[in-house]
Structure 1
């Protein structure tokens, strides 16, 4: 017969228990979403075809929700300006600090290299993220039924953090997609070595993760590496994928950061020093819509906002228990294990939080969670009990969606306000004669420089890239301004320069290099 997850024909001796104990909906199936071994291949293909519209609908709804709720005209955030500036033909490249990887810069290059339109970039990323979600979910058709897969995709896509970062020029969503595809293809290749598409999927998924965030990729694939110890071909494909994705980052470590060890050390220092840090509470505080929680102080959001975060692992464990009892544990336990290893560094090893860090864990957890929810609505015996179970789950999901929408709206409004402030400061700087070619330093100089069309340079902090002496020389040959918040003093070399109001900041403009008002 045709293998459940693959495209080729597998001999009976290559079929694993994972293929025999599968999950489905219907008279010719077990409880997990894939037809029984004796179901004709034509029926398997027909059933898969029926599931395609559901996955397509989830992906299309995800794309549409991004365009409607996040809005394409939302300005670029701080980190986005760094990534986009690397490939933009309209602004100088911002300093690229040690932890960053150039994967997202290359992903946006087809648009950002020739257009400065944020609207066009957002639409491009929204469409691309929806298509990527569809393809990543499709990988799992051999292990879960179309209903469970569509539910998993909807749960992940409806999180406010997923909707917010889908159209953003940020790497975390793409690590999540790579993780989802890599783990699914790993299961397919393990069950059917003749499935060529699965082998390529393992390579591509690992490469995509490492291309975006090399260290995240390593944490995600740890359980896969453990299962590959006695399977050298799988181990080689995984390793080759990681090496292909991280190759540029490693080469750049030697060309620009003094070596791999030095880059890793610098990256750790920028992240506050990797080590034991209990960041669980910090992540909890960030669930209210704080895109970066550093320092992470203040009260946690309302329990109504954070309830889903506590329910998530319970439902994932339920899905795992159901899968173990059905004797097809691996397709549920493996994404659960990878979700745990993906989350560990951001819950226990860094001293601050950002909700986007956990996107790969959320994507992988969506599968066992959907499996658990499907069990809740199908397991009760009797029509009345099942109706009650369906009603309770529906109410819970509806409440969850309402909370996610409220938090998303709050996050979008707050982000739009800060980015509008940068835009106003940039407009004020233009009236002060700070125009291309120009240079900014000081408070919020990195994003404001992007909005102004200038380069940025700092002498201290995570983005330190120059010296005071070099800035003094730059003040005589280019349009240069130092930004400072109200009430603070500028650096010594700029204290004699004329101070002007620029939005909510004070701009100290080098008198000898103004472009003229």
Structure 2
């Protein structure tokens, strides 16, 4: 490659011992392992394994779970998370065990994704990139979560790094497998995100007519995307219908300026829909505005060092991955941009490394001191936002636990059916099936609910003080934690209520 990437890759290989503990120490792998281990430990301490499952998590987990019947699986969702958690959820209902499993797995995922890049950047830069990404409140919050976006991020970083390695060294067969694995991980988690993220890679292949990495990349995308497309025809009336339904659920994809929505979500809002309220304090937003500036500085460093491609390509993938979430939907969730943040992390860390060191590797004491103060302030802000997000989220999920206990006390026990407001997560906590005749999760009709109520315990949930759904008029009402529970008459032969 013209910018020296090939020579850098070969030189890095020649200078690194082949195997053994000495190699692990010499090539800086211990730094990456330390960052990954710290990431796992921080999740378990700052988020905690006791945090209950959220709404989306209950949908993914319930697909392969001993806790409750599968919840309705709407058009935008993909099966990757359900498969990821299946080794635990298929036999255990312990949320604590699931959180620990995901925390350890996400630490391993970060480590492997960073290792791919050892041929292009010094270990210190990669370790700093991992630490910067892992210290964000949104990364820590979703590390032990049964959600797809962090895994798209790991797949994206590994895929881009292996793509660069495969193009720089035609003898690197492991890199081709890495391209396929990274693309497959993205596609199984979120097929549309995988396509947006891989778009620059596909353009490079077209422009250079290099077919060697094409098969692994397209094959990896096809594994997850193919399953999603097949399911579209089996359960959603075809691919066009599924895409249309997914767009409707997300508010109608098109030109929507969501940058301000993303800014409002930085205060710890896991979902900003509708995204109203004041813009956060500048201290909370500072890191977000610093990212593109530092990424551009990282690109300038790479150009000056004649190694442009390993910096430019992840920046291009970050830009295409961000585009739909900044300009095509009318709401925000901070997790949507996790792949963007990880792809930007290495160029940002490279810029900071060159800011605090001289060309001969000596430390610039003043610059290092200023950076240390800035990073300390950044970490403090991230901790405060994370702490508030965890407290707020835990309170909501404790309410679902109390509602489930109330339903059990009132005789609504498996097999049972819940419908109405927040029926999906509460049903999971209760061990019931869930169904709704309207909204984004339509899976039955009012007549279907009435028939089911004649067979199993059934309850409709509504906001406190509001009217019950039309099909639940005449059902007995009981207040619970932030909800009213409308209980259907006991099925024939059931004297529990």
1-structure distance, mates of 2:123, 2:6 = 16
Corresponding residue of 2:278: 299
Corresponding residue of 2:253: 274
C-alpha contact (below 8 Å) 2:12/2:119 kept by paired residues: no
Post-superposition CA distance 1:364-403 (Å, at most 9, x none): 00010001100100148998x9110000111111111111
Equivalence map 1:334-373=2 (5 Å): 334-373=313-352
Does residue 1:516 correspond to 2:493, yes or no? no
Post-superposition CA distance 1:200-258 (Å, at most 9, x none): 00000000000000000000011101111111122222111100122211111010001
C-alpha contact (below 8 Å) 1:211/1:246 kept by paired residues: yes
C-alpha contact (below 8 Å) 2:157/2:343 kept by paired residues: yes
1-structure distance, mates of 2:495, 2:49 = 33
Corresponding residue of 1:256: 235
Can you give the 5+ residue segments of structure 2 that lack an aligned partner in the other structure?
A: none
In the TM superposition, residue 131 of structure 1 has moved relative to its aligned partner by 0.6
Corresponding residue of 1:19: 6
Change (3 A) 1:364 1:341: same
Q: TM-score, normalised by structure 2?
A: 0.95
Residue 458 (structure 1) aligned to one of 424, 430, 436: 436
Corresponding residue of 1:444: 422
Can you give the 5+ residue segments of structure 1 that lack an aligned partner in the other structure?
A: 1-13, 23-33
2-structure distance, mates of 1:199, 1:457 = 44
C-alpha contact (below 8 Å) 2:462/2:469 kept by paired residues: no
Which secondary structure state, in structure 2, belongs to the residue aligned with residue 499 of structure 1? strand
Equivalence map 1:502-513=2 (5 Å): 502-513=480-491
Corresponding residue of 1:3: none
In the TM superposition, residue 42 of structure 1 has moved relative to its aligned partner by 4.3
Corresponding residue of 1:174: 151
Q: TM-score, normalised by structure 1?
A: 0.92
Q: Give the CA RMSD over aligned residues.
A: 2.0
Which secondary structure state, in structure 2, belongs to the residue aligned with residue 370 of structure 1? helix
Corresponding residue of 1:30: none
Residue 403 (structure 2) aligned to one of 410, 425, 430: 425
Does residue 1:127 correspond to 2:104, yes or no? yes
Runs of 4+ in 1 over 3 A off after TM superposition: 34-50, 379-383
Moved more, 239-248 or 202-211: 239-248
Change (3 A) 1:38 1:74: closer
C-alpha contact (below 8 Å) 2:13/2:119 kept by paired residues: no
C-alpha contact (below 8 Å) 1:380/1:389 kept by paired residues: no
In the TM superposition, residue 488 of structure 1 has moved relative to its aligned partner by 1.1
Which secondary structure state, in structure 2, belongs to the residue aligned with residue 228 of structure 1? helix
C-alpha contact (below 8 Å) 2:16/2:26 kept by paired residues: no
Change (3 A) 1:485 1:43: closer
How many pairs are equivalent? 491
Change (3 A) 1:211 1:360: same
Corresponding residue of 2:311: 332
